Structure 1
């Protein structure tokens, strides 16, 4: 891939460049950017073409950088390029989306080619543009599961951002990964799911002895309901099978198991509370949950399902 400016700097003339394109030896990819070969255009070449078109200081970022670093298996339909915030780039470049960043000189990888942001900075970029907390959780999870970075490095990158979407959720995830103990996720569940909706108080971190000792994150023993909060990133491999065996044993013993992650508890705590309430009521809980606010789904999902003859205690 070569730009017209690079070709002229190498000693070629404008007429020679035009002749190379007209003869089919070169192909014009973007305005002033050419492929000096025939045949299919590899992904790396597409990224280089976009960077050359955008100009000095540009670097691949977001999903494009994630794909180049092995964070995802699909690069998506467009090339994402970030440029310094003090530059202006023509807004419409076919197949290219432009981002602007004040800190690009610090977040750009010093040696990777094609030029791109450091992976520890790419993940927060993707989190910031994620439309749903579950997608943000997926990016953080993938980065740690694929051993491309560590929770500590991601936490450092997160701390350097003045503004970022889903900060509380991601910070909690990273703390959970690093410590794995009584987690912010469990605290969020206690406050925003249980207390905010008037649910029974579960027993937390309950030790159950049997053929092997297991720990239950939240146990509603009177109603045969167990809640598992997967705070540690990476319930895969042996961990996933241990979770499955634990859930199966609980079912055999007559317990129901509900399992949630950060995206559930941080992203839609009211829906989580609604599921809790349905199972608890089906297993003998005779009271009713309360909405945490005017838009709480408990109001429409749970209260709507009450029998017509039901009378709600104002207290």
Structure 2
């Protein structure tokens, strides 16, 4: 094995495709001998490793792209994770390919064929071939069967400061035709306008649906103890009144945590500021009833017939 091939295998974390070995003058008989003697391990019919034992996550990703061919790249949440996205880990490795899937499947790898220009999608960074962050997330979102994980991933990649809403919107246009392009742009507009959580995005969708004004999100307030608090959603109403909606992320199993939330809410209430609370479940699944309650509190809008 020459130094060039040794360096190549090292850069691929011990994984190498048979085609790469052939280019360096190493035939299949030699490879099979190394496998039989236990020095190497056959990972797929197309890929072997010069290390034995269980592969790491990074090695599994190299295995996937080497098996799929030279034009392949990591895609979806796998590519996003490589570029810093956290909290969206998946066990399966996602790989984009641009040819017919005529090769053998690999356990734990999901292959997606795309006719989009791979030269546009591929990140120029050295190392493992990987899709650029923005198209990787948008293509993942476009293939979801329900909107929540789709919009959640788009929000997460911006909120973690890995990209910007403006950059994501540019890629929505570059990827045309893209499924759910218009809803994606609305979500990105909401994020640019200050929505910092999935619940806040849901509130804005509820407002559009029932003709309510869009709220101001994450407004800084000082409570009576002088501590800075950030409110979820606020509306400035006539007569110098402000309506505040605080969205709880889930059901409180800890009574002390619930009491602390209620205490914080009380301490930012004034004669001109009304604070009401709801759960994220209500925003997502009982939006009509919530909208009707907000209208009853003075928010202009159409009272849903189902909640009247």
TM over 0.5: yes
* TM-score, with length taken from structure 1: 0.67
- Identify the range of structure 1 (26-35 vs 169-178) with the bigger mean alpha-carbon deviation: 169-178
Please report how far the alpha carbon of residue 245 of structure 1 lies from its aligned counterpart in structure 2 after TM superposition.
9.2
| SS of alignment partner, residue 255 of structure 1 | strand
Cα-to-partner distance string for 1:130-151 (whole Å, 9 max, x where unaligned) = 3433322322222223221112
Q: Distance in 2 between matches of 1:89 and 1:72?
A: 33
- The answer on whether the counterparts of 1:59 and 1:81 sit within 8 Å (CA) in structure 2 is yes
In the alignment, structure 1 residue 192 sits paired with structure 2 residue 204: no
Cα-to-partner distance string for 1:187-221 (whole Å, 9 max, x where unaligned) = 8544412x4xxxxx77977x9x9989x99633678
Match of 1:217 in 2: 234
Q: Distance in 2 between matches of 1:48 and 1:188?
A: 40
- Identify the range of structure 1 (129-138 vs 51-60) with the bigger mean alpha-carbon deviation: 129-138
What are the residue-to-residue correspondences of 1:164-175 with 2, within 5 Å? Answer: 164-175=178-189
Match of 1:232 in 2: none
In the alignment, structure 1 residue 144 sits paired with structure 2 residue 144: no
- The answer on whether the counterparts of 1:61 and 1:80 sit within 8 Å (CA) in structure 2 is yes
- The answer on whether the counterparts of 1:220 and 1:226 sit within 8 Å (CA) in structure 2 is no
| SS of alignment partner, residue 286 of structure 2 | helix
- The answer on whether the counterparts of 1:81 and 1:99 sit within 8 Å (CA) in structure 2 is yes
Cα-to-partner distance string for 1:42-91 (whole Å, 9 max, x where unaligned) = 2221111111111120000001111211212554121110011x433437
Cα-to-partner distance string for 1:245-286 (whole Å, 9 max, x where unaligned) = 98444557683425799x997xx5x731222335777x799x
Match of 2:67 in 1: 53
Residues 36 and 244 of structure 1: CA distance in aligned 2, closer, same or farther (over 3 Å): farther
Match of 2:111 in 1: 98
Match of 1:271 in 2: 286
| SS of alignment partner, residue 82 of structure 1 | strand
Match of 1:255 in 2: 274
- The answer on whether the counterparts of 2:122 and 2:131 sit within 8 Å (CA) in structure 1 is yes
Q: Distance in 2 between matches of 1:251 and 1:132?
A: 37
Select the residue among 7, 27, 37 that pairs with 1:13: 27
Cα-to-partner distance string for 1:223-247 (whole Å, 9 max, x where unaligned) = 9964479xxxxxxxxxxxxx99984
Match of 1:160 in 2: 174
- The answer on whether the counterparts of 2:190 and 2:204 sit within 8 Å (CA) in structure 1 is no
Residues 275 and 36 of structure 1: CA distance in aligned 2, closer, same or farther (over 3 Å): same
Match of 1:310 in 2: none
Q: Distance in 2 between matches of 1:224 and 1:65?
A: 43
Unaligned runs of 5+ in 1: 196-200, 230-242, 292-297, 304-315
Residues 203 and 13 of structure 1: CA distance in aligned 2, closer, same or farther (over 3 Å): closer
In the alignment, structure 1 residue 44 sits paired with structure 2 residue 63: no
What are the residue-to-residue correspondences of 1:15-34 with 2, within 5 Å? Answer: 15-34=29-48
